[in-house]
Amino acid sequence: MAFDKCDPASIIAVRAPQYSANPRLTDLIGLSELQTSKVLGDKWGLAVALRVMHTLAVEDLNGGSDTDSGSGEAGAITEVKEGDLSKKRDLPSSSGINGGLMTTVYGQELATLLKSSVIPAVNRFTTIPVGSCA
């Protein structure tokens, strides 16, 4: 398969090959496409892929598998006790609009991409993104 910068599956195969064989990959890409704005132009495929990789990485942190999304907890375990089993998670700050994205490197990269892709307010004329994946 040749690399295609507009194809999220192609980007995932390069960036996180461990997720390429996930049986839910097509569904997760479809969901992420609905959640990701086309105004990102030629970065749209990357944004979709980062969102999928973030979702799968959070599931990995939560003890999930290819068919199970895990416990619903996120963050790195920083403390574990064996007697009376206890664990403590260290969560990055979840304040702000992209707080949930800060739990994985893929989410952090997506937040940076979204922040760098903010389109300034324009007048009544329509703007078309350059190099669109549409």
Among residues of the chain, what percentage have pLDDT more than 90? 37
Among residues of the chain, what percentage have pLDDT more than 70? 62
Q: Which amino acid is at 131?
A: G
- Both structure tokens of 108: 């952090």
Residue 5 in contact with residue 45, Cβ under 8 Å? yes
The whole-chain average pLDDT of the chain stands at 77
pLDDT higher than threshold 60 for residue 48? yes
- Residue 71: pLDDT band (50, 70, 90) is very low
Sequence-distant (6+) residues with CB within 8 A of 49 are 8, 9, 11, 12, 15, 29, 32
> How many whole angstroms separate alpha carbon 7 and alpha carbon 87?
39
| Domain-wise residue ranges, the chain | 8-116
Phi and psi of 58, rounded to 5°?
Answer: -65, -40
| pTM of the predicted protein model | 0.69
Between these two residues, 67 and 81, which has the higher pLDDT value? Answer: 81
